[in-house]
A and B are shown apart, each in its own frame.
Chain A
């Protein structure tokens, strides 16, 4: 097996941008593994993992991306993966929770939550935020595997909610899976 590269790309969105990027990867013999893509505020962003022959270098990819026509310059970052994809492909950690935070929009809300999780050494697995009128909503998927007392953690969250005038809700990730995933039965959600 060759090397695995993590590639992140950002550009102004337009029809054909995915085709152009994946053509560069294909031409260099790359095999796509996991990929995540979204469009935010008219900007296209994609992060992917590709498997390449050892001789392919990040510079080869950057050179390929530089030839793509775009309204803005294609911003790309490429890093070699230290851990094999197979190892990383495990499911979500057992104690994955979702913290939803809502409050009146102001500067520093995400930083406040980020600082809070960092202070407790909590890894944020995923984050989505939206702003609707003046209400800012943040949804953090977090790994609480190392939290010894959920009661104490809930109390800390509640204290933060009071201090920051936010509505913070903590729910286990499995609840969301159970209530929203048609193809996932309760039996398959429950793990050892």
Chain B
């Protein structure tokens, strides 16, 4: 048997530090579902998802119960819908969206991702139709999430698409105005979108993937926060330096990753589905004690957004990757610390205090995953300004060869400082101020593409 202190450390991690597996996401290829008509295609989509996912949630629950580790979210990602519905018009895409939503309900998953188009270089008629359908598709469905990839390090940034994204987000928020623009919380714009990310709203089943795979997102930041507090108490603040803390984070992440992979692989074996990757991201929830912001506070900034926040996030992100990569056989997805404002109570609190601005968030996304996430802004910010914010975030991803994303929620009828609440996992936050509104129109009006950056002569 293992040493008793090792056993008790693991028991504490599960019992007191709330170790869990954040998400197990089943990716399903739908490219073979295309039929002669929209109706037939939708039926084949629903049937294929049901075929593979009918036992998915019960099996996850069974394995979670066996190992005594909760699997918090069970989700499905599918092939980008723009490919599945190539040739569809806007109305047909909305029908496809409803079918995906039905399939998610039948499989008993709360979210299905993949209402997606990849338009980083150019847009086909189908891509345009899917994008045009997004406001309606997300307002008439419950479980569907949408993402559009508008940039990549290899192809540059499609600024025509970025301009459309600003308008799409505005329309989406207005279509769902009665729920505070909630539709925009289910829509995310990417640069370098990975095809094996298990986290929503940006999960898709990339075309490079096998027919069906399982990807796992490991536990949340709460485990790391509590373990760090414990280590600081045990060793003493005066005896710890930042490199010691980074080492502690690596070791915790190692354990957390091992648990996630064990459970993911067991589910995948029992469902006879290929195992994909472990995504090492720290994904906070609005629950108290499950916050990336709390880790920043433990590591020395009184409010998230204060000078030093970016450096801490950089260290945290790196230590998580180092611990996780050693622990896992296959790492992928986003793999970094998320800083979604509404979903992280400490970040939301910092916004309320005026400590955290969009500009500081943007700086932090240079060194962590994944971008300006769940950022509520005043409802009267214009589409062009939103597009320009997205362009800035995409540029960070493009130049740094990393994934960045923007999930911006213009809250209809509300101004900066007022609070918006979506409840549950989507959380709440004071609305963030957007400075320099209406000053980017000439930039966005250019359209065209920002060319891909040079991939040598790096300094």
Q: Quick one: given A130-B4, A139-B4, A180-B6, are A171 and B262 in contact (CB under 8 Å)? A: no
Complex: A190 Cα to B6 Cα, angstroms: 20
User: How far, in Å, is B333 (CB) from chain A's closest CB?
Assistant: 17
Provide the B11-28 mask, 1 if CB < 8 A to any CB of A, else 0.
Answer: 101110000000000000
User: How far, in Å, is B447 (CB) from chain A's closest CB?
Assistant: 48
Q: Quick one: given A179-B259, A190-B265, A190-B266, are A141 and B1 in contact (CB under 8 Å)? A: yes
User: How far, in Å, is B39 (CB) from chain A's closest CB?
Assistant: 42
Complex: A189 Cα to B261 Cα, angstroms: 11
From A126, A130, A171, contact of B14 by CB (8 A): A171
**Chain B contact residues: helix, strand, loop or mixed:** helix
B11 touches A178 (CB 8 A): no
From A130, A169, A176, A189, contact of B6 by CB (8 A): A176
- Residue A37, interface by CB 8 Å: no
A150 touches B259 (CB 8 A): no
| B265 surroundings in chain A (CB, below 8 A) | 186-187, 190
- Residue B230, interface by CB 8 Å: no
Complex: A136 Cα to B258 Cα, angstroms: 29
User: How far, in Å, is A181 (CB) from chain B's closest CB?
Assistant: 8
- Residue B7, interface by CB 8 Å: yes
Give the interface centre of B4, B11, B266 by most chain A CB atoms within 10 Å. B11
Complex: A150 Cα to B4 Cα, angstroms: 24
User: How far, in Å, is B5 (CB) from chain A's closest CB?
Assistant: 9
Interface residues of B in 239-262 (CB under 8 A from A): 254-255, 258-259, 261-262
| B259 surroundings in chain A (CB, below 8 A) | 175, 178-179
Give the interface centre of B1, B4, B66, B254 by most chain A CB atoms within 10 Å. B1
- Residue B68, interface by CB 8 Å: yes
From A128, A175, A189, A190, contact of B1 by CB (8 A): A128
A175 touches B69 (CB 8 A): yes
- Residue A5, interface by CB 8 Å: no
B11 touches A100 (CB 8 A): yes
Interface size in chain B (residues, C-beta < 8 A): 27
B329 touches A100 (CB 8 A): no
- Residue A13, interface by CB 8 Å: no
| B7 surroundings in chain A (CB, below 8 A) | 98, 100, 139, 176
| A190 surroundings in chain B (CB, below 8 A) | 262, 265-266, 269
Interface residues of A in 144-192 (CB under 8 A from B): 150-151, 169-172, 174-181, 185-187, 189-190
Complex: A170 Cα to B65 Cα, angstroms: 10
- Residue B8, interface by CB 8 Å: yes
Interface size in chain A (residues, C-beta < 8 A): 28
Q: Quick one: given A169-B11, A169-B14, A172-B66, are A186 and B6 in contact (CB under 8 Å)? A: no
User: How far, in Å, is A148 (CB) from chain B's closest CB?
Assistant: 13
User: How far, in Å, is A22 (CB) from chain B's closest CB?
Assistant: 24
Complex: A187 Cα to B67 Cα, angstroms: 16
- Residue B454, interface by CB 8 Å: no
B68 touches A179 (CB 8 A): no
User: How far, in Å, is B155 (CB) from chain A's closest CB?
Assistant: 36
User: How far, in Å, is A131 (CB) from chain B's closest CB?
Assistant: 12
- Residue A4, interface by CB 8 Å: no
Interface residues of A in 104-156 (CB under 8 A from B): 125-126, 128, 130, 137, 139, 141, 150-151
From B1, B13, B328, contact of A139 by CB (8 A): B1
A171 touches B4 (CB 8 A): no
| B8 surroundings in chain A (CB, below 8 A) | 100, 137, 139
Complex: A105 Cα to B10 Cα, angstroms: 22
User: How far, in Å, is A87 (CB) from chain B's closest CB?
Assistant: 21
| B13 surroundings in chain A (CB, below 8 A) | 179
User: How far, in Å, is A102 (CB) from chain B's closest CB?
Assistant: 9
Q: Quick one: given A141-B1, A175-B262, are A187 and B10 in contact (CB under 8 Å)? A: no
Considering only CB atoms, which chain B residue lies closest to A169 in the complex? B11
A187 touches B266 (CB 8 A): no
Considering only CB atoms, which chain B residue lies closest to A192 in the complex? B269
Complex: A137 Cα to B4 Cα, angstroms: 9
Complex: A190 Cα to B10 Cα, angstroms: 19
| B66 surroundings in chain A (CB, below 8 A) | 150, 172
Provide the B383-401 mask, 1 if CB < 8 A to any CB of A, else 0.
Answer: 0000000000000000000
Complex: A180 Cα to B68 Cα, angstroms: 17
User: How far, in Å, is A59 (CB) from chain B's closest CB?
Assistant: 33
From B1, B65, B255, B328, contact of A151 by CB (8 A): B65
- Residue B235, interface by CB 8 Å: no
B2 touches A176 (CB 8 A): yes
Give the interface centre of A169, A170, A185, A186 by most chain B CB atoms within 10 Å. A186
Q: Which 10 A-B pairs have the closest CB atoms?
A: A178-B258, A179-B255, A186-B261, A126-B1, A178-B262, A186-B262, A180-B6, A172-B67, A171-B68, A128-B4
Q: List 26 A-B contacts (CB under 8 A).
A: A100-B11, A128-B1, A130-B4, A139-B4, A139-B7, A141-B1, A169-B15, A171-B14, A171-B67, A172-B67, A175-B14, A175-B259, A176-B6, A176-B7, A178-B262, A179-B6, A179-B255, A179-B258, A180-B2, A180-B6, A185-B329, A186-B258, A186-B261, A187-B265, A187-B329, A190-B262
Interface residues of A (CB under 8 A from B): 98, 100, 125-126, 128, 130, 137, 139, 141, 150-151, 169-172, 174-181, 185-187, 189-190
